[in-house]
Structures are given as structure tokens and as C-alpha cells.
Chains A and B, each alone.
Chain A
Amino acid sequence: MTPPNDYSPDMPGPAITDAEVEVLLSRRVSADPALADLVTAINRIEISRLGIDLEDRFGRYSLRAAALARTAEIPAKPGLFARLSPRLGAIAMAAILLMGMAGVAVASDAAVPGDILYGLDRVLENVGLNDGGIQERIEEAEVMTERGKATDALNHVADALPPGLNEAERALHRAAENLDVVSDDTDVSGKLGEMLDWMANTDFEGRDFGQGVAERARELGGGQSGAPPTSNGNGEKGNDPANQAGSGNPPRPNGNGNGNPSGSSNGNGPPGGRPPGQDK
């Protein structure tokens, strides 16, 4: 088998131009006889046919997706203070606090998704007045679990994971989905609480943290079996890592402390871009 290769300026034959490449990729035609087999293979893939086996699932998929959208957390829109410059915003907030609104800020800090003051809590986090970050999200998930909202708690934590922990995020969401079909499991809250406790207190960070979360989430959701990682960040075997003196720091949130949904870098989806295949 020919190993992966790359362009070499020493190879014989005229170089293909960017325009020719664009025609091939966008219109699936080429005047180059050497690319005839490629053009044939490309045109044999009829994208529309790939949906045939999904047809009978569209209805079920759409109902499920609609339900997910209805219950998904709505990010707090930037309020008055967030629209001000940081300096003015801080001054304005300080003035309100001095006017006796401090109690409201404190009360909102304890709010979780679904509470009236939760939107205010997120606004205050955005201007740096309430705590934020993944630790806050874990604490909120713990409260949600205590309230019997295990599925929402799992999704809440999954959406707050730092970037790069895709496996953990996926496992948490899958566990949330699987919980939806589990009619009754009194042990769920206990297991979920244990996982959240581990997340809050572990010294693991980065990839090791993500792996630990993913393993525990899979156990929770009835997915792949497997014991939680028993090695610390240095790869040494041992007891439950939560009881070990680890060498790392608690998981760090990302820069804004709010966590990012998979697929966006700023919480609003990728900038620019274009629409679904209508025009190129």
C-alpha cells in the first residue's frame, strides 16, 4: 500500500490549479483523464440515498430533538451591565449593591437552572460578581440531582466541561439519554452524586479528568463497563484517584468560566460560515 504522501514539487506532470480543484470539488467534473476514476467514484455517491434508511427515524428523531431543545438551558442574554464597558458596568453594579441589592446577588448565586433567579446568576457571573466556572456548574448539578433532575444535571455538567473533553461530554449526554428510558432507579441519584463529588474533589485535570468523567458516566448510563481509572496523572496504579495525593490541580474551567457547547468557541456558534448546501 502506498504510504500517505504529500505534494512534492519534484513530481512530474503539470500541477493542478486551484481553479481546477474547485471545479472538481464543487461540480464533480474534471477535464483531466487521470482523475476520471476519482470523478466516477465521487459521482457514484448519491448523497440523497444516504437518507433512505433514516427516513423511518425522522419522525422519532425530530420529536426527541424538539424535546431536547425545549428543555435545553437558555443562556442568559447580556443584561444592562454586560453591555456597558467593564468599568462602567462595575461602577453601576457596585452602586446597585450599595443600594441594598446585595441580597439579591447572594440569593441568585445559589440558584440552579429552572429557578427564577438563575438567569440573574449567570448575568452576574458574566460581570464577575458571582462565582462561575465548572465548579459552580457541578454544585448546581448536585442540587438538581437532589431535586430529582438527574437527566438535566448530567446535561448541565456536560455542557460546562472545558473544551477538548469530547469523550467525557459524549458519555455524560449518553448517560442522560439512557436515564430517560430507565423507569426507576433509586440508585441513580447516589451514583450521580458520587460522580459529581469525584469531579468536584479530584486532583485529576485535563485528559485524565475527562477520562475519569467518561468512565463514571458510562457506568451511570449503563454503557460500556469498566472500572474508573485507578491511575493518577503520572500513570501509576493505585487506589481510587480521589483518595490519592494527585499532582495536578482541580479541573480548570475555560477562559470565560462558562463552559462551551461542543461546536462553538464563543457560545454563539462559529462566526461567519454559510448555509445548508444551497449555494456555494
Chain B
Amino acid sequence: MAREAQNIKEDFYAGDSKQILVTVYDQNDNLFDLAGCEVSYAMWHPKTEVIVLQKSSTDANQIEILNPTTNGVFAVNIKPTDTVRLNGEYRQQASIVDGSGNDVIVMTGRVMISKSFARRIRNDSISAYMLGT
């Protein structure tokens, strides 16, 4: 069921709020019913294999299986703090465990995250003093 080349090559900037939509198909290329499935997602650095982001559908704020489940679509919710310090090319994968306990990778691909510079900035200051003797 793995679909290669689910790549995000542009328009993904560090600190963005983003939703990655994934459609799952069975081995016959039919939409897969995600009812009762647990979905996991990971993003990692391709050379160091350090995982930089992980999400799970056990928390609907992280991964949401969209209704109706028969459409086979889940959404990975990326928050600004998830990627604010990332920059460069990463790999991504998503897997599901269905109601029968079958565990399978359903999506892989590359993700290009670009630095973002145009973010709202705030600064402030206070005065200090000291007397040396």
C-alpha cells in the first residue's frame, strides 16, 4: 500500500502551520477504510536518521482521520513549533495499523523545508544600572 514520491518540494517553510493530507489505497488500488486504524507519521533527517518530528492519531490534534473513513484520508497537522528550527531536506513516512493488527507503511516521500524570515517579530527592553568601585 506504500505510495512513493509523496513529496513536498516547495511552499513548506519553517514555522508554517500545515496540514499534510494522505490518501490510503489497498493493494487493489481501492480507497482504504481507515475506521479503527491507528496512524503514525514521522519525519527524519536522511543522513543522520535522526527523527525530527513524530505524530500519532491517538491524538486527533496530531493526526486526524477524516470522515467518512471510507475515503481513506487522514490529515497530519503540523504546528509552527514542529518545524520552526528545521531547514533542508527530510524524509517522511506514514504507517497504519488496522483493526486486525496489520502494520504497513502507506506513504513515503521527501520534504523540503525552507527557512522562513518573514515572521512577526516583537522586542522590548528595560533599563539597568550598576555602580562600580
Chains A and B bind each other = no
